[in-house]
């Protein structure tokens, strides 16, 4: 079968790659064409556009880059029309992908959506539109099934694909030596994968982490950037930036400061105590605070529905508060132990690996019926 996939950010690239691998295991005659990234490209097929040219985060940022976004949408629709896939799989990235879904339905394509749009966070009435333009929705968070059911929509819960990626990961025994890391305990900085979030967050992360002189600070570099991009934030500081090795970094980390997003859940699943941070355009945050109707922003806290990890947002995201929270998880054994104990509850709720395989099986099953 011919598959067309659309992923617009680093996490979607990871989940898309694992799904592609699972599809190939079940469907020998598989062809792929996609919007995605390096991980998806490594699985084969044709990369049409890299997510580095697509990921704009925040209301204001979207408006500023609207022309680029519209051009990308037009290009995606035209390419889908030319390719005529048997299966269209849209992965997260709702601002873009729901428009693509709407187009696909208008031309008679069946739409498969992997990783639910976070409509439970704000403007929940978008579910009504999703019911019309998405044929099969595959959810990865336990509480989403009941949410959609309350709106009269049946969805498939497939588990979380991060568990697949982590279970398949094999630590590099030479990681520390290869990156010339010292014997000090490591504080990992995960500032995100988008230019604007790195620009907002990394200076505050560095200012806080550098106060801990007995620790080695290491930055997880986003694969869509080069080392010189990070140099502008470092001045003369000799702080390592590691690329394509985030899981190795988390394997060796004692604590972490993490940008809100998928990485918070990854960090927790590696049992690394963390401080979650988020900062953005002032107007974007003001709009979000009016619209978003959830108690937490990190997936860790959302899944267990309680404040396991501290979230420092906007004005609270400053070096003093970050350093204070970091101190609690590196120097206060009681606080550190409590967070790790709460991670056990998270593990229980997450369940077992197998999301990619289950989703691939359901896609093939539904497509075959069609």
pLDDT digits (tens, 9 = 90+) for 247-256: 999 999 999 9
Whether residues 222 and 313 fall in one domain: yes
In angstroms, the CA 192 to CA 285 distance is: 17
User: What is the DSSP annotation of 169-210?
Assistant: ----TTHHHHTT--SSEEEEEE--SSHHHHHHHHHHHHHHHT
Q: For residue 292, is pLDDT > 70?
A: no
Instruction: For residue 169, tell me if it sits in a domain.
Output: no
Whether residues 233 and 287 fall in one domain: yes
Of how many residues is the chain composed? 370
**Among the listed residues 51, 109, 314, the one whose alpha carbon sits nearest the alpha carbon of residue 204:** 314
Instruction: For residue 315, tell me if it sits in a domain.
Output: yes
- DSSP class of residue 222 equals -
Instruction: For residue 167, tell me if it sits in a domain.
Output: no
Whether residues 323 and 257 fall in one domain: yes
Domain that includes residue 67, residue range = 2-159+354-369
CATH of residue 228: 3.40.50.2000
Q: How many domains does the chain have?
A: 2
Whether residues 138 and 181 fall in one domain: no
More confident residue, 357 or 143: 357
CB atoms inside a 10 Å sphere around CB 290? 9
Element (H or E) spanning 310, and its range?
A: strand 310-313
Instruction: For residue 187, tell me if it sits in a domain.
Output: yes
In angstroms, the CA 334 to CA 241 distance is: 31
Instruction: For residue 70, tell me if it sits in a domain.
Output: yes
Instruction: For residue 81, tell me if it sits in a domain.
Output: yes
In angstroms, the CA 105 to CA 111 distance is: 7
Asked if residues 136 and 154 have their Cβ atoms less than 8 Å apart, the reply is no
Whether residues 144 and 8 fall in one domain: yes
Whether residues 109 and 182 fall in one domain: no
Whether residues 188 and 309 fall in one domain: yes
What is the pLDDT averaged over residues 337-356?
A: 93
Whether residues 304 and 244 fall in one domain: yes
Q: For residue 66, is pLDDT > 90?
A: no
Whether residues 127 and 217 fall in one domain: no
Instruction: For residue 300, tell me if it sits in a domain.
Output: yes
- DSSP class of residue 45 equals S
pLDDT value at position 122?
Answer: 75
Residue 141 φ/ψ, nearest 5 degrees: -115, 130
Asked if residues 262 and 269 have their Cβ atoms less than 8 Å apart, the reply is no
Pairing relationship of beta strands 87-91 and 111-114 according to DSSP bridges: parallel
Alpha helices in 270-332 (DSSP H): 282-291, 299-304, 319-330
- The pLDDT-based confidence of 237 (bands split at 50, 70, 90) is confident
Whether residues 199 and 298 fall in one domain: yes
Whether residues 124 and 199 fall in one domain: no
Q: pLDDT of 173-230, one tens digit each? A: 999 999 989 878 999 999 998 888 999 999 999 999 999 999 999 999 998 899 999 9
pLDDT value at position 61?
Answer: 57
Instruction: For residue 223, tell me if it sits in a domain.
Output: yes
Whether residues 181 and 205 fall in one domain: yes
∠ CA 254-258-263, nearest 5°, is 100
pLDDT value at position 281?
Answer: 72
What is the pLDDT averaged over residues 263-279?
A: 96
Q: pLDDT of 99-142, one tens digit each? A: 999 999 999 999 999 999 888 877 788 899 999 999 999 999 98
Asked if residues 148 and 127 have their Cβ atoms less than 8 Å apart, the reply is yes
């Amino acid at each position: 079968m011919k598959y067309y996939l659309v992923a617009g950010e680093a996490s979607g690239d990871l989940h898309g790659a694992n799904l592609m691998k699972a599809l190939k295991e079940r469907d020998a005659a598989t062809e792929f064409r996609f919007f995605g990234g390096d991980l998806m490209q490594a699985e084969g097929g044709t990369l049409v556009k890299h997510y580095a040219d697509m990921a704009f985060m925040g209301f204001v940022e979207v408006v500023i880059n609207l022309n680029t976004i519209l051009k990308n949408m037009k290009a995606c629709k035209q390419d889908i029309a030319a390719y005529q896939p048997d299966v269209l799989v849209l992965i997260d990235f709702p601002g873009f992908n729901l428009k693509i879904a709407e187009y696909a339905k208008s031309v008679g394509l069946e739409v498969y959506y992997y990783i639910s749009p976070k409509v439970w966070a704000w403007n929940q009435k978008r579910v009504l539109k999703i019911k019309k333009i998405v044929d099969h929705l595959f959810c990865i968070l336990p509480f989403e099934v009941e949410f959609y059911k309350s709106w009269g929509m049946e969805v498939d819960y497939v588990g979380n694909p991060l568990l697949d990626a982590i279970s398949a990961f094999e630590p590099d025994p030479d990681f520390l030596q290869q990156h010339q890391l010292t014997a000090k305990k490591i504080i990992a900085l995960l500032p995100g994968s988008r230019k604007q979030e790195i620009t907002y967050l990394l200076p505050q992360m560095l200012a806080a982490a550098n106060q801990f002189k007995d620790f080695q600070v290491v930055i997880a570099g986003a694969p869509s950037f080069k080392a010189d991009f990070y140099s502008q934030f470092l001045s003369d500081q000799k702080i390592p930036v590691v690329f394509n090795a985030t899981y190795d970094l988390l394997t060796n980390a004692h604590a972490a400061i993490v940008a809100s997003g998928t990485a918070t859940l990854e960090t927790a699943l590696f049992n690394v105590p963390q401080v979650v941070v988020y900062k953005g355009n002032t107007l974007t945050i003001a709009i979000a605070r009016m619209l978003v109707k959830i108690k937490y922003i990190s997936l860790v806290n959302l899944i267990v529905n309680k404040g396991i990890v501290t979230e420092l947002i906007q004005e609270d995201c400053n070096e003093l508060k970050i350093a204070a929270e970091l101190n609690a998880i590196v120097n206060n054994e009681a606080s550190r132990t409590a967070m790790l104990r709460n991670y056990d509850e998270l593990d229980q709720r997450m369940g077992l690996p197998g999301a990619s395989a289950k989703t691939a099986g359901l896609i093939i099953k539904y497509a075959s019926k069609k």
